[in-house]
């Protein structure tokens, strides 16, 4: 039995990198994991290989339970919907891992205001919006919960 047996974890940015590793680790420890990213499949605009479908398939092949939920954490409505979908599928959320993030690397002199605003909206406001969406149900369930922010 894993350390997280019976727990539900919601991991944003779970299609690749740190988010995929966190989702896989939580699943290996017994959690049911909701993997969240903007899209289910790898898009042409992505710099790195990886998709939400792949993450969920690999977790399932390892014998754990996971679902894929597409949503944009920069949008308040999506954050609310994501939390509702996860709760409908798995029950109360015990752990939220805010990992979603984007980069618009470049020289500051050349960076457009729109790029800077988008980075702040996804990386900072997205974590706030997901936490706010998950926090009310976490408080109501009266069994505690954890919110982990990765920056």
Tens-place pLDDT, residues 62-110: 999 999 999 999 999 999 999 999 999 999 999 999 999 998 887 888 8
Write down the mean pLDDT value for the chain.
92
Q: In the beta sheet, which residues pair with residue 97?
A: 11, 148
What lies within 8 Å, CB to CB, of 20 at 6+ separation is: 14, 35, 50, 55
Judge if pTM exceeds 0.95. no
Residue 57 has pLDDT above 90, yes or no: yes
CA 85, CA 134: separation in Å to the nearest integer? 11
- Residue 9's H or E segment, with its range, is strand 8-12
Helix axes 17-28, 52-61, angle to 10 degrees: 20
Task: Count other Cβ atoms within 10 Å, centred on residue 59.
Answer: 24
């Amino acid at each position: 039995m894993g350390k997280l047996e019976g727990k539900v974890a919601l991991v944003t940015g779970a299609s690749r990198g740190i988010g995929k590793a966190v989702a896989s680790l939580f699943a290996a420890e017994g959690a049911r994991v909701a993997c969240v990213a903007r899209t289910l499949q790898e898009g042409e605009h992505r710099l790195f290989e990886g998709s939400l479908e792949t993450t969920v398939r690999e977790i399932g092949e390892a014998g754990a339970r996971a679902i894929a939920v597409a949503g944009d954490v920069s949008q308040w409505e999506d954050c609310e919907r994501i939390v509702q979908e996860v709760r409908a599928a798995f029950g109360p959320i015990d752990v939220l891992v805010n990992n979603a993030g984007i980069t618009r690397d470049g020289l500051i002199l050349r960076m457009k205001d729109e790029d800077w605003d988008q980075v702040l909206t996804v990386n900072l406001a997205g974590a706030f919006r997901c936490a706010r969406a998950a926090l009310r149900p976490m408080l109501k369930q009266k069994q505690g919960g954890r919110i982990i922010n990765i920056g």
